[in-house]
Amino acid sequence: MTEYRYDILGNRTQTILPTGETLNYLYYGSGHLHHINLDGDTITDIERDDLHRPVSRSAGKLHTRLISDPLGRLKEQLVQLEATNGKATEPKGLIKRRYHYDTNGNLVQTEDQHHGNKDYAYDPLGRITRAGDERFAFDPAHNISGDGVKVAGNRLTDYNGIRYVYDPLGNLSERHNDATGESQYYRYDADNQLTEARIEQEGRPSEHWHYRYDALGRRVSKQNAHNQTETRFLWEGSRLLQEYGDKATYTYVYTEQGSYEPLAQIVQTANRDGSKTDRQILYYHNDQIGIPRELTDAEGNIVWRGEYSGWGKLNNAEGANLKEDVHQPFRLQNQYADKETGLHYNFFRYYDPHCGRFTQQDPIKLAGGYALYNYSLQPMKFIDPLGWVEWKGTAYSVSAGVLTGTRFELKTECIKGKRGHATVYASGGSYGVGGIVGSNGSDVTFEDKLDHIDPNVFNGLYSEGSGNITFIKGIGLGSTKLGQAESKGLLTIYDRGYSVGLAANGGKSTVTSSYIESCQEKPKVNCGKCQYPNNYPIENLPPAPNVSINEMIRMVPYY
């Protein structure tokens, strides 16, 4: 059994593991995480700036420095050995990365001290078309396609040498790799959850795997049917807390209470007589969207280093002190890589990193968009751990002429019997030429990257690039960020006359009032809230008279 304890503000102060070990959490007066330890042994100390963003983090003998740009995006990270006087040494750094963005917030280049530079490119709709040496094309419905040919029914059947076959319910049932000769066959239960995988390849023994889930859809075990080896999983809500195997137990610690970004891995290996060895703590070093790039030990040695494709597939793992027994299953946030199939378990579905698509349809069907298998069309910007809390409401301009502020009245849907309300004041921008002010307000929707309700997520920077506003048949399109929450998708629909053209340097976002009320949650079938970021809400635009969706898509210029 796992036990949790909280302070009077609702912050978790302890996680008592089934082994009896205790993870302890300390917070700043603002409620932001400051320190984590395991039975008194420090895992990390976190320092923050005035906007409560992490600016430094300890990891054993290493010190990580994090630098953000004015819009709150990670601009640079530097990992160094820490001297005895508390100051970092080795100016060159053990790990060093820089990130460059365009005016739309898209990542256009990474500079990595080890891997070198990598460039990214996007089409007018914001879809990724290049990641280093990789090139991507899409059909008109946003399905990835090797040659841009339309994909019937959203079901990709052939991509880069791999053929796909689906069952009558739309689940991937067969996957054939023409280059290696490997074939995989899948079976599902009544809830469309993968329960069996059979892997066959000429010259190799076939493999047969079984997967089991709990009542909440969380995978609790996987077993090799041939040798009966089993891995069991323990969850804290929707995050993986521990996994148990024959050789070791792994406990995972995350960067924030509401985050899926891993911070540390606690390893407890077993001797042949069943006794446990001394535990070891390994530290994650992640990129701008939380993908693990390195693992280091307590002495600061890199024991694992990964290089990924544009869709999160691990191309290779290496390191100066690479250890063969290092277990690093995380890929894109909240994705667990299965070595046997190459698929990533992504909570409600499985993800194929070869083509950047899910193997099952979206459990909420068309409510998540028309493309039922798509992941984010911008994998370098958006994540899909399982679904974000949505805040919907109205934005009002505070004054006309020179912008002095914008007021947002927002609320969430009913989640676990609770509904959040927040009034947010955003200041610091100015209207562009020709800006339209609507006193009756504008409908807005924000996603906050959390799986729980926290109005404080809106405190921080206010940003909206002036080049992001585009008009199609009188409909204004743009994107807005309040604190850590971002307007849903690549485009925000200003459908009642409100368009800002806010200065690119943005301003400040402050929650002026908030409360959480009890509510009666509507029953949901199969999955709870499991929306994935479609990131192309043009399909949800109210169509102008005599203008089709496809015509509107073709009219979208670069922004």
Decide if pLDDT at 66 tops 60: yes
Residue 445 lies in a domain: yes
Give domain status of residue 506, yes or no: yes
Q: Which residue has the higher pLDDT, 262 or 495?
A: 262
231, part of any domain:
no
pLDDT tens by residue, 461-519 = 777 543 333 333 333 345 577 777 777 543 333 333 333 333 334 577 888 888 777 77
Q: Residue 554: is its pLDDT beyond 50?
A: no
DSSP secondary structure of 271-297: -TTS-B---EEEEEEE-TTS-EEEEE-
Is the per-residue pLDDT at 441 higher than 70? no
Which of the two residues, 131 and 534, has the higher pLDDT score? 131
First vs last C-alpha separation in the chain: 52
What is the rounded CA–CA span in Å between residue 257 and residue 277? 29
Flag the least confident range among 296-305, 394-403, 404-413: 394-403
**Could you tell me if residue 507 is inside a domain?**
yes
pLDDT given at position 412: 85
Tell me if 551 is assigned to some domain: no
Contact of 302 with 273, CB cutoff 8 Å: no
Percent of the chain with pLDDT over 90: 43
Of 239-253, 276-290, 316-330, least confident by mean pLDDT is: 316-330
pLDDT mean across residues, the chain = 78
Average pLDDT over residues 247-261: 91
Residue 546 in this model has a pLDDT that exceeds 80: no
> DSSP characters for 519-545?
--PPP-SSSSS-------GGGGS-PPT
Query: In which band, very low, low, confident or very high, does the pLDDT at 36 lie, cut at 50, 70 and 90?
Result: very high
120-124, 176-180, 451-455, range with the lowest pLDDT: 451-455
Are the C-beta atoms of 33 and 24 separated by less than 8 Å?
A: no
Identify the sign of the CA torsion 552, 555, 556, 559.
Answer: negative
- Ordered strands of the 475-478 beta sheet: 470-472, 475-478, 492-494
Could you give the angle at the alpha carbon of 51 between the alpha carbons of 391 and 24, nearest 5°?
Answer: 85
User: Quick one: pLDDT band at residue 302, thresholds 50, 70, 90?
Assistant: very high
Q: Please state, in angstroms and rounded to a whole number, the distance separating the CA atoms of residues 262 and 250.
A: 13
**Residue 486 is part of which domain span?**
390-529
pLDDT digits 0-9 by tens, 68-97: 988 888 999 999 997 655 555 554 568 999
| C-alpha atoms less than 13 angstroms from C-alpha of 423 in its C-beta half-sphere | 5
Residue at 493 is within a domain:
yes
Residue 432 within any structural domain of the chain? yes
| 239 falls within a domain | no
pLDDT at 49: 92
**Across residues 25-40, what is the average pLDDT?**
94
pLDDT of 242 strictly over 90: yes
Amino acid residing at 442:
S
As a dihedral over the C-alpha atoms of residue 318, residue 332, residue 244, residue 183, rounded to 10 degrees, the angle is: -80
Mean pLDDT score, 189-214:
95
CB contact set of 29 (below 8 Å; sequence gap of 6+):
none
Res 347 pLDDT > 70 = yes
**Residue 208 pLDDT grade (very low, low, confident, very high; cuts 50, 70, 90):** very high
Report how many domains make up the chain: 1
Residue of higher predicted confidence among 471 and 286: 286
Cβ–Cβ contacts within 10 Å for residue 433, how many?
6
